[in-house]
Structure 1
Amino acid sequence: MYIGYLYLAIAIVSEVIGSNMVISTEGFTRLKPTIICVLCFGLAIYMLSLTVHYIPLYIAYAIWGGLGIILVTVVGVVFWKQSVDIPTLIGIFLIVAGVVVVNLFGKAH
C-alpha cells in the first residue's frame, strides 16, 4: 500500500512540474520546456496508472487533484509572482476539505 503512495507522490510532483512548464513553453514553441512538459505529464499519468493498483482511483485522484492544485498555486505565487485572492484561497480550502472527507470517511478504507 505504501508503494502506491510513493507512486502517487511522483505522479503529483511530475504533474506540478509539467503544469508549471506550460508557462515556459510559450505555446509549445520552445523545444526544451516543451519536452520537459510532455515528459512530466507522461510520467504523471504512468505513475497514476501504477498507483491505482494499490489505491482506489477515486482516492488517488482526489489526493492528486487536491495536492496538485495547492502545489501549482504555491509555485505560481513563489516562482511566477502570480497573485491569489480570497475567493481562490477559499476554493482551494474547499477542495482540500473534500479530499480529507473522502480519505477519512470513504468506505474504501
Structure 2
Amino acid sequence: MSERDVQAEIHKIVTENPVVLFMKGTPTFPQCGFSAAAIQLLKNCGATVAAVNVLADQDIRQGVKDYANWPTIPQLYVNGEFVGGSDIMKELYANGELQKMIDGTAE
C-alpha cells in the first residue's frame, strides 16, 4: 500500500486555487457554525471559493492542521497563503482587509 502524501495534496490545492476554505461540510451545507460563518463572509466578499470538506477525508482533516500549524477548522488560504480561521476572518472582514485580499485574487 503506497503512502499518501497528504501535505503535497494540500499544497497543490492551496496553490492551484486563489481562494481555498478547508471547512466542515460544504458551502451549501456547512456542518459547524464556524464553517458557516466563514463561507458567509467569503460570499459577502464575492469570492469564488474552492471548498474542501474535511469531514469527507480524515487524512486531509488532520493534514491541514499540520500544514498550517493551526489546530482548528475552518482554515482560509488566499493566493497560497494561510490567512486564518473564522475569528481572524471576522476581524479582517470588519476592517475591510478580507475584501482587499479577495479583490487581489481577481484575474
TM-score by length of 2: 0.27
Of structures 1 and 2, the one scoring higher in RCO (CA 8 A, sep 6+) is 2
Q: Over alpha carbons, which structure has the higher Rg?
A: 1
Which one has the bigger helix percentage?
Answer: 1
Which one has the bigger strand percentage?
Answer: 2
TM-score by length of 1: 0.26
